[in-house]
Structure 1
Amino acid sequence: MDRSASQSHESDRSISMHDDPVPKKKGRKGKAKAKGSKRLWTKKEDAVLVECLLELKEQPLWRTEWGFKCGYLAKVEKMMWEKLPHYGLKAQPHINSRVKMLRRQYNAISEMLEKGSGFGWNDEEKCITCTKDVFDEWSHPFARALRHKPWVHYDSFVAIYGKNRANGAGAETAADAVEDLDNGSVDNNDE
């Protein structure tokens, strides 16, 4: 084999070593993301996740008024590893992503039930009930797939995050606070 043929073969090999055989999509913030990296959760994994969140909610070390303290995802990861070993669920991105998605769906359902006219809850089937027209008029982005779809974790999420969510209703602006101070109508709880 002559030297030029050998160099040509080596250069082909070095090019192929650096070529990426799997096309990558650009994710958020321009980072490359492997195609097909989205993880699909099973009903069993969802149930264990919600069970872990309920257990964590009962521990005062992790509980706050609005949910959980920082670092709770690592604790949930450990708890899930004990219940589902070898599933490979990580706090980032798996558990964090799933909790966010479930929370968005919970908030959408809660908003429909609290503010939406014509919405109901079927407690046997654990799903939103309404006519197609009422549902189509509702514009919540996370509500699209929830009509007549069972959402079995609703009661658990009420226990974890509560029914009262921050929605801005009754919120006091800085101008309102200053006006209350000027009028002397501030409640003094020090008495």
Structure 2
Amino acid sequence: MSFTAPKTQSPPTSQFTPRVAPVWKPRGRGKNNCYWYINETKILIDVLQEIAYDPAWKTDGGFRSNYLTEMYKRILSKMPNFSKQIFPHIESNIKWLKTKFNTINDMLKQSGCQWDNMEKKDSM
């Protein structure tokens, strides 16, 4: 007795085949790139400001340990559908924001440099 596999039919072909978008592959060393929307970044900055003004979380050198978990809880209370993780997403975005803040803060410390709110740029 011999066993034969059932024949499979190929799907019907038509002259209108849908175009498939190319598969997105993340760049860089990490497995996944995480993109932040503007509203997510604004909420992150708001929560950072809240924690900075909260004496329970502020210390002389910065924030108390485990402040990222508190930030995550506060972000979830403002945006329940927030899906990013504490490590590495929130942590890396805070590092990125810190570099931008330090650059702008150094520019503003220079003599004659002021921020123009109307044109959204620094004026000399």
TM-score in same-fold range (> 0.5): yes
Q: TM-score band, normalised by the shorter chain?
A: 0.5 to 0.7
Matched residue SS, 2:63: coil
Deviations 1:100-156 (A, max 9, x none): 1111101001111213x66431133443346xxxxxxxxxxxxxxxxxxxxxxxxxx
Aligned-partner Cα distance in 1 for 2:28–2:36: 23
Identity, % of aligned pairs?
A: 29
Structure 2 equivalent of residue 96 of structure 1 = 91
Label 1:109 to 1:84 Cα distance change in 2 as closer, same or farther (>3 A). Answer: same
1:44 Cα deviation from its structure 2 partner: 0.8
TM-score in terms of structure 2 length: 0.67
TM-score in terms of structure 1 length: 0.46
Residue 71 of structure 2 is aligned to residue 56 of structure 1:
no
Aligned-partner Cα distance in 2 for 1:26–1:50: 26
The RMSD of aligned alpha carbons is: 2.6
Structure 2 spans left out of the alignment, 5+ residues: 4-23
Structure 1 equivalent of residue 121 of structure 2 = 127
Aligned pairs, number:
103
Choose between structure 1 and 2: higher helix proportion. 1
Residue 100 of structure 2 is aligned to residue 105 of structure 1:
yes
Structure 1 spans left out of the alignment, 5+ residues: 3-21, 28-32, 131-191
Aligned-partner Cα distance in 1 for 2:57–2:117: 30
Structure 2 equivalent of residue 81 of structure 1 = 76
Deviations 1:8-30 (A, max 9, x none): xxxxxxxxxxxxxx978772xxx
Aligned-partner Cα distance in 2 for 1:110–1:26: 29
Matches within 5 A, 1:106-185: 106-115=101-110, 119-129=113-123
